[in-house]
Amino acid sequence: MLRLEWIGRDTVCVRLTGAWRLHERLPSPNEVEQALAGNRELRRIALDASGVATWDTGLVAFVLQVLRYAERRNLLVDRDALPRGVNRLIALARAVPEKLLDGPDERPAWVTRLGLGALAISDATLASLKFIGEAALAVGRCARGRATFRSIDLAAVIQECGPSALPIVSLISFLVGLILAFMGAVQLRSFGAQVYVADLVAIATAREMGCLMTGIIMAGRTGAAFAAQLGTMRVTEEIDALVTIGIRPMEFLVLPRMIALVLMMPLLTLYADVLAMLGGALVGVAVLDIDATQYLERTTHALTIRHVAIGVVKGGVFGVLVALSGCLRGMQAGRSAAAVGLAATSAVVTAIVLIVVLEGIFAVVLDALAL
Amino acid sequence: MPSPSETPASAAIVVRDLDVGYGRVVVQRDLRFEVRRGTVFIIMGGSGCGKSSVLRAMIGLLPPLRGEVLVGGVSLWQAEEREREAVARRMGVLYQGGALWSGMTLAENVELPLAQFTDLAAGQRREMAALKLAFVGLAGFEDFYPAQLSGGMQKRAGLARAMALDPDILFLDEPTAGLDPVSSRRFDDLILELRESLGGTVVVVTHELASIFAIGDEAVFLDAERHTIVARGNPKTLLAESTDAAVRAFLTRGEPAAAY
């Protein structure tokens, strides 16, 4: 609690009593400021805490604010009747602060922000190109048998992005096959051509959906994991430790991940194709009353090695994209927990955007080549 | 045998028959000591002797294998959840690496405990956070993120956060590890100054000899091989009088003949 008492015309005594602790409700220094605001004869404030029973830094904060107010108005403050600890803490808090580093700046003008944004984009593009270049060099060294990485790491990554991904790939592909068959059936039925559902499902999954869905699953599952792993290794200085003993992180960390995904993605794509066709067959046989042998026959008729090969090649390429974007974002991550989260997010976004863009390019090129 | 709630009034913390470890591995056993109110209590010992594990058991992070920890008469591991929370609120902890929340500014780091446990208005919380940061020499750094600071500054910011609620007991895990001698000396002075001004008890886990002699009122020495306390008392007295080889080696940096 606090009370103001006037001593003469130019001095006010602020008497503090009771408990001044953070857990209690603390009076605001504004009360003092408001009470003294209009008074022009005031020269001195005397603080008296002799009636304070218990105190903690709540009292110190109050006194500091009164001191600041007094400084603004050029008033003298008498602090003799404050506990010794309070005065010592005030001295501590007012000790010359550390020289400020380059701190959070004012928000720059929009032209500056535009310019900085453009520079950041060009920097990021250059960094990505450099990363891709280094990755290519690492692949070259690996082909000549000169790359340094541990085969056990490679095996672990293969396990992680191959067999461990089977359940989720199975589920998604099967459902996608199911959906394709349903969608196709609704349209084809109006021509009485529902038996061609088998052709539709087979070609669509083999050429497009199998590799696309697998790519997106792997971007979310494995690409994010790569970014988080490498980002955390940056935070804990593990990558610096590799560099100082002369090991290229690009070979030791990125290369096994790339190899693993390039090996696993085509296999996962094939597996996804089979599962999606099974899903389509389930709809065909159970819902559309197509004979099972007939469905199989239509499927084998529609499916050529060319369709399957296109899907598998695309799968491999998507594997490179997922691995590169995951590793790139991980290696670029800042050194904090929040930055690792950002890296994981941005790895997934980058990979999915690249996959969809490349899918479009493939479509145009394959059409031009009449494949 | 005193009942669990019966503790001497002068003791801020009582550790009774404590075994600390992980699964079947006992790191330290049969620990018995009292931390008197208003003292700086040092838990010392060589690297890997389990100092930090003992600290984790004392602040409620690591369930002990046996025994109990009484803080202000409340058993940390047997009391009701609410009682434990009330006890935890009166403790402040500075973790080894600072453990500042990297997604928050320094001011937000200090304000979070205040928002959680007090009714202060936002403006007052901000004021308190600025004050605590000023205590540790970080006035003006309120809006910086931890990643923008040096290691020593992060540690001091961690101390500001540990003091956010003016705790009765301050636990410091290796507060001066990784600091240069001058900064480390300043940190010790700061701890002493805060203890002088605010009162309260400080428990420090450390193996930095300079700090131990500068700030320690009392200490226990945990031995890595015998897995228990092998010496206790004022560090300077221990240096002068202890006959235990491990304690002597530790306090004299392995030179039995040399005085520190």
Q: Domain residues of chain A, as ranges?
A: 2-93, 148-368
Q: How far is CA A359 from the centre of its chain?
A: 24
Determine whether the interchain pair B124/A334 forms a contact, defined as Cβ–Cβ distance below 8 Å: no
In contact, A185 and A287? CB cutoff 8 Å:
yes
The string over A324-362, giving b where at least 16 C-beta atoms fall within 10 Å of a residue's C-beta and e elsewhere, is: bbbbbbbbbbeebeebbbbbbebbbebbbebbeebbeeb
**CA distance linking residue B231 with residue B228, whole number of Å:** 9
Query: Considering only the top CATH level, what class is A2-93?
Result: alpha beta
Instruction: Tell which wins on pLDDT, B196 or A262.
Output: A262
List the helix and strand counts (H, then E) for chain B: 9, 10
- Encode pLDDT of A112-159 as tens digits: 999 999 999 999 899 999 999 999 999 999 999 888 888 888 999 999
What does the pLDDT read at residue B5? 45
Contacts of A26 in chain B (CB under 8 A): 120, 124
Q: Is the minimum CB–CB distance between B68 and chain A shorter than 8 Å?
A: no
Which residues lie below 8 Å from residue A309, measured CB to CB, with a gap of 6+?
Answer: none
Determine whether the interchain pair A88/B117 forms a contact, defined as Cβ–Cβ distance below 8 Å: no
Which residues lie below 8 Å from residue B35, measured CB to CB, with a gap of 6+?
Answer: B11, B12, B13, B14, B15, B41, B169, B201, B203, B218
**Helix H or strand E encompassing B202:** strand B201-206
Q: What is the mean pLDDT of chain A?
A: 89
Q: Is the minimum CB–CB distance between A368 and chain B shorter than 8 Å?
A: no
Chain A: closest CA distance from residue B117 (Å) = 8
Determine whether the interchain pair A56/B166 forms a contact, defined as Cβ–Cβ distance below 8 Å: yes
Q: Is the minimum CB–CB distance between B152 and chain A shorter than 8 Å?
A: no
- Mean pLDDT lowest among A340-354, B46-60, B118-132, B242-256: B242-256
Q: Is the minimum CB–CB distance between A40 and chain B shorter than 8 Å?
A: no
Determine whether the interchain pair A94/B134 forms a contact, defined as Cβ–Cβ distance below 8 Å: yes
CATH code assigned to B38-59+88-251: 3.40.50.300
* ipTM field: 0.72
**CA distance linking residue A59 with residue A17, whole number of Å:** 11
At residue B76, what is the residue type? Answer: L
Closest CA to A357 of A309, A293, A310, A314: A314
Q: Domain residues of chain B, as ranges?
A: 38-59+88-251
**CA distance linking residue A176 with residue A183, whole number of Å:** 10
Give residue B242's region: left, alpha or beta (phi > 0; psi -120 to 50).
beta
Closest chain B residue to A55, measured at CA: B198
Window 99-118 of B, Cβ < 8 Å to A = 102-103, 114, 117-118
Closest CA to B69 of B9, B16, B112, B136: B16
- Encode pLDDT of B140-189 as tens digits: 899 998 888 888 888 889 999 998 888 889 999 988 887 888 888 888 88
Determine whether the interchain pair A336/B120 forms a contact, defined as Cβ–Cβ distance below 8 Å: no
Chain A: closest CA distance from residue B218 (Å) = 23
**If you write DSSP's letter for every residue of B44-74 in order, what string do you get?**
EESTTSSHHHHHHHHTTSS--SEEEEEETTE
**CA distance linking residue B81 with residue B85, whole number of Å:** 6
**If you write DSSP's letter for every residue of A236-277 in order, what string do you get?**
TTHHHHHHHTT--HIIIIIHHHHHHHHHHHHHHHHHHHHHHH
Percent of chain A at pLDDT > 90 equals: 56
Residue A96 binned pLDDT confidence (cut-offs 50, 70, 90): low
pLDDT at A237 over 90: no
pTM: 0.70
Tokens standing for residue B1? 């045998």
B224-243 average pLDDT score: 89
H-only helix segments in A162-304: 166-189, 197-204, 210-218, 224-235, 238-244, 249, 255-286, 292-302
Measured CA to CA in angstroms, residue A78 lies from A8, A44, A92, A153, B166 at distances of 15, 7, 18, 70, 26
